[in-house]
Amino acid sequence: MTRHLWTWDAADLAAAIRKREISAHDAVSSCVARMHEVNPRLNAVTVDLSEQAVANAKLADQALAHGDAIGPLHGVPVTTKENVDQEGCATVNGVAAYRDLVASADSPVVANLRKAGAIVIGRTNTPAMSFRLDTVNDFRGRTYSPWSRGHTPGGSSGGASSSVAAGITPIGQGNDIAGSVRYPAFCTGLVGLRPSFGRIPAYNGTATRERTISSQLMSVQGPLARSVRDARLALHAMSQHDPRDPWWTPAPLIGPGAPRRVAVVDAPEDLGGIPPNAAMQDALRTAASALSDAGYDVVREKTPGFARAFELWFEMLVPEFRKFMHADFERDGDEGIRVAMRYVLDNVPEKDEASHLRALSERTRVIRDWSLFFAQTPLVLTVVCTEPPYAHGFDLESAERTMRLWREAATLMAVPVLGLPGIAVPTGLAEGLPVGVQIVGPRFREDLVLAAAEAIEERVPKLAPIDPR
C-alpha cells in the first residue's frame, strides 16, 4: 500500500477489498485511526462507533472468505447523520431534549448503506433541528471546517462534510431540504449530490408524526464524497426500494441518451436578485470551460430561472412551520436556532391559508416550465451560492442579513421546490477556501448531472482530503 487507506476513494477501497488485496479491517482501522487523530480538532463525528465498526469489518472479511455475496460498498467506512434513525443510536438532531430518542430500527438510507456492505464508523453533527446553514448547537457544540476554523463547514450536513473532507471516511450520508448536502460540499471542497425527489427512500420511526406536506415534497437523502464516482456509487447503494417510503419511485439510474447541452444561469434576475461575486464568476467560467473541453455545448439562453421557485420555498414551507413546527423549535431548540428561525419569520409575512394552497398549486406550473426547457437543453450550470463560504455567525446577524444570505443562496431552495437533482462540484480555491458550482438536470437524470460534474472534476485539481488547518 503506497498511501494511507483513509485517503482512498470508496470505489478503490471496495475494489481492493473485493479482490482481497486489502481487508475490510484494514480500511476501517485506517479510517478509525484518522478519525481519532483529526476529529478532536473538528468535532465532526459526535458519536464514535469505531469498536462496533472494527467488529463488523472482521465479519465482512469472514463473509468474503466464505464466498458470500457482497454489495458494492462491502467493507467501506461511512458516516451517518444524527438526524436519521440508526438502530441503537439516538436521533439527536442537535437537540439535548432528544438524547434518549433511541431508534429501534435503521432508517431506509442507513439500512440501504448497510445492505450494500458499508460499515458505519460514526455519527455526524448537525445544527439543532437541522435547520441552519451552519453546524453548531448547544448540545454537541460547533463543527469546524478543515479548511478554516473561522469559516463554516456548511449545514445542516456540516459534520458529514467536515469528516469527509478531512479523510475520516470517503462517503458521508446527508440530507437536503434547503441545500443541506450541496452547501456543505461547496464549503469543504467536496462533491455533494441532492438526488431527485422520490429517488432515495426516507423514514424515521422515531418521529412522532408525519412531516408537513412541503417537507415531504422537498427533503431528500444524499451523499457527500470526495469524487463524483463515489457519489455515483453511494447513490446506487442508497436508492434501493424500501416500503416505508410511499414516495419512492422505481426509476432507472441510467436514462436514454440526451443532447450534451448546458445552459449557464448566473443572471441576478434568474437567481435571488444577487449577482455572483468575482470568485463565483471565475468558478462558473472554469466549469464552463471544462464542460466545453469535454464536448458539451455550453450556451446562454433564456431559462425559466430559479427566482420563482426560490420564493415558493418560503410560501410553501414557512406557513407549515408556523403552524406545525414553531412550537417544537421554541420548546426544544437552542438559542441559535430560535434566533435564526425568528429572522426567517420576520421576512415572511403571515398570510391566509388560501395563499399557502395557491403556492402548492403553482409549484406544478414552475416544474412544468423547467420540464419543457430540459426537453431541449438537459443541463444547467449555476452557482451553489453567489458568495464564498461564510464566517461563523453569518445567519445570526439580523433579519435583513438573513434574507440577503438566502438570496445569495437562492438555488439551494429553488432546486428542492422543483424536485430536481443537483450536484455541487468543486472548481478550486478562492483566498484559501473552496469554491465550486452546481449542475442541475431533469428529474431522475442523476446520470446526466453526474457525468457533467465528472467532466468538470477531471479538469480541476482535487481538493480533499486535507489535514485540518
Supply the residues annotated as catalytic: 81, 156, 180
How far is it, in rounded angstroms, from Cα 29 to Cα 77?
Answer: 9
How far is it, in rounded angstroms, from Cα 46 to Cα 81?
Answer: 9
What residue type is assigned to position 322 of the chain? R
DSSP codes of every residue in 344-411: HHHHS----HHHHHHHHHHHHHHHHHHHHHHTT--EEEE-S-SSPPPBTTTTSS-HHHHHHHHHHTHH
β-partners of residue 123 are 47, 80
Cell 458539451 found at:
296
Q: How long a stretch of residues is the chain?
A: 469
Cell 422505481 found at:
250
For residue 398, count other CB atoms closer than 10 A to its CB.
11
Cell 462507533 found at:
49
How far is it, in rounded angstroms, from Cα 284 to Cα 279?
Answer: 9
Task: Identify the CA nearest to 103 among candidates 203, 234, 222.
Answer: 203
Cell 441552519 found at:
132
Q: Which cell numbers hold the place of 448?
A: 446526466
Sign of CA dihedral 325, 327, 328, 329: positive
Task: Identify the CA nearest to 126 among candidates 89, 84, 69.
Answer: 84
Residue 165: which residues within 8 A CB-CB, separation 6 or more?
145, 146, 147, 153, 188, 189, 190, 226, 463, 464, 465, 466
How far is it, in rounded angstroms, from Cα 413 to Cα 214?
Answer: 12
Pairing of strands 422-430, 191-194: antiparallel
